[in-house]
């Protein structure tokens, strides 16, 4: 059953994909406890920090804590597109960070998001498609295309396969029919190389661009990110956080902030700098605890936006 507020008017950003319950372990998190996660969480909260009106389309099970829903509602995330399925589980991952690498294990998976789960009344300036466990199909993407002028994609869930123990591995993805629907593409460097089968980053980004997306973004961890649009590459430096406790959700926060600025008609380079700034706050907390205030985000973004190095991309070969 949909929760809280009904669909009404135009949203700035709607995120489509599963919420998750994350168990996070790292050298700094020795005793993992259940934490609210998933793209609808981080994308929405990042955009909210920049005053965007946000909503989600997602499915969870009866094990999804009511305190999560109340907390999201208090943060002004519209949950009218969230469905709780009786007798089902919420998507859940065990995330282990070790030696600079992240290992994922799927513990449970919610039901897919179907064509009929997308309201015909949905209207948004931007919709971000962010599957994490193969929960979306092409016909859902095509329906979402009709509800917005800006359709964004993080393909991570399309690229994942799971063995019998839930261990996550990346696979090549037959993506042409989805990508032709997309305006903005964002993924990690490993994901875009897997998706395209190309080892060269610039070649991989150009291949994705040629399939449909006008803007292609690739996050590169502490190095920063690379942006491609209108035939040009831009290297976006990372922002230095005060402390790094947990990198979970940094990529989702990046694209949430990027889209919040992009729908205002801002320069994509500036949007990417705001994304970098927002993600630098997220890693300072555990789970979706820290996002920074709007003024703080803009302050960090301005520091890297003014750097001439953001335009020096001819040496991007990774």
Residue 115 sits in a domain of what CATH number? 3.40.1190.20
Residue with token string 């956080």: 241
Please indicate, yes or no, if residue 98 is contained in any of the structural domains: yes
Q: Which residues contact 49 (CB under 8 A, 6 or more apart)?
A: 257, 278, 291, 292, 293, 294, 297
The yes-or-no verdict on residue 147 having pLDDT over 80 is yes
The yes-or-no verdict on residue 76 having pLDDT over 50 is yes
The yes-or-no verdict on residue 274 having pLDDT over 70 is yes
Q: Provide the domain count of the chain.
A: 1
pLDDT, tens digit, 9 for 90 and up, residues 82-121: 999 999 999 999 999 988 789 999 999 999 999 999 999 9
Please indicate, yes or no, if residue 40 is contained in any of the structural domains: yes
Please indicate, yes or no, if residue 178 is contained in any of the structural domains: yes
State residue 8's pLDDT score: 60
The yes-or-no verdict on residue 310 having pLDDT over 80 is no
By three-state DSSP, how is residue 59 classified?
A: strand
Rounded-to-integer distance, Cα 153 and Cα 171, Å: 17
Check: CB of residue 84 under 8 Å from CB of residue 108: no
State residue 306's pLDDT score: 82
Residue 170's beta-bridge partner residues?
A: 160
Q: How confident is the model at residue 315 (pLDDT cuts 50, 70, 90)?
A: very low
pLDDT, tens digit, 9 for 90 and up, residues 173-216: 888 899 999 999 999 999 999 999 999 999 999 999 999 999 99
52, 176, 216, 218, 266 from 179: Cα distances, Å: 25, 5, 11, 15, 23
Q: Which residues contact 236 (CB under 8 A, 6 or more apart)?
A: 224, 225, 226, 227, 269, 272, 273, 275, 276, 304, 310
pLDDT, tens digit, 9 for 90 and up, residues 6-58: 556 689 999 999 999 999 999 888 888 899 999 999 999 999 999 999 999 99
Please indicate, yes or no, if residue 255 is contained in any of the structural domains: no
Task: Tell me the torsion sign for CA atoms 102, 108, 110, 111.
Answer: positive
Residue 83's beta-bridge partner residues?
A: 59
Please indicate, yes or no, if residue 191 is contained in any of the structural domains: yes
Q: Mean pLDDT in the chain? A: 92
Please indicate, yes or no, if residue 106 is contained in any of the structural domains: yes
The yes-or-no verdict on residue 316 having pLDDT over 80 is no
Strand order in the sheet with 101-108: 34-37, 20-25, 92-98, 101-108
pLDDT, tens digit, 9 for 90 and up, residues 49-69: 999 999 999 999 999 999 999
Q: Give the structural domain span for 183.
A: 11-217
Rounded-to-integer distance, Cα 46 and Cα 255, Å: 8
Please indicate, yes or no, if residue 141 is contained in any of the structural domains: yes
């Amino acid at each position: 059953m949909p929760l809280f507020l009904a669909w009404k008017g135009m949203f700035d950003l709607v995120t489509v994909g599963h919420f998750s319950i994350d168990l996070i372990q790292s050298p700094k998190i020795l005793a993992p406890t259940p934490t609210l996660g998933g793209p609808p969480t981080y994308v929405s909260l990042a955009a909210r920090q920049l005053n965007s009106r946000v909503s989600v389309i997602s499915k969870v099970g009866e094990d999804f804590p009511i305190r999560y829903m109340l907390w999201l509602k208090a943060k002004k995330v519209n949950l009218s597109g969230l469905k709780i399925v009786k007798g089902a589980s919420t998507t859940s991952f065990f995330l282990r960070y070790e030696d600079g690498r992240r290992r994922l294990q799927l513990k449970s998976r919610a039901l897919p998001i179907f064509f009929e789960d997308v309201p015909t009344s949905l209207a948004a300036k931007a919709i971000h498609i962010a599957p994490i466990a193969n929960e979306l199909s092409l016909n859902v993407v095509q329906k979402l295309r009709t509800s917005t002028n800006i359709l964004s994609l993080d393909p991570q869930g399309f690229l994942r396969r799971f063995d019998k123990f839930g261990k996550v591995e990346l696979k090549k993805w037959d993506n042409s029919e989805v990508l032709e629907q997309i305006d903005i593409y964002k993924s990690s460097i490993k994901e875009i190389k897997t998706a395209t089968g190309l080892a060269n980053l610039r070649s991989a980004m150009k291949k994705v661009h040629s399939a449909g997306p006008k803007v292609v973004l690739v996050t590169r961890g502490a190095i920063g990110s690379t942006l491609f649009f209108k035939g040009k590459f831009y290297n976006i430096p990372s922002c230095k956080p005060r402390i790094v406790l947990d990198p979970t959700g940094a990529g989702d926060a990046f694209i949430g902030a990027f889209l919040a600025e992009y729908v205002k008609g801002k320069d994509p380079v500036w949007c990417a700098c705001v994304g970098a700034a927002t993600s630098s706050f997220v890693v300072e907390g555990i789970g979706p605890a820290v996002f920074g205030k709007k003024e703080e985000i803009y302050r960090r973004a301005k520091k890297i936006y003014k750097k001439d190095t953001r335009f020096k991309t001819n040496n991007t070969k990774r």
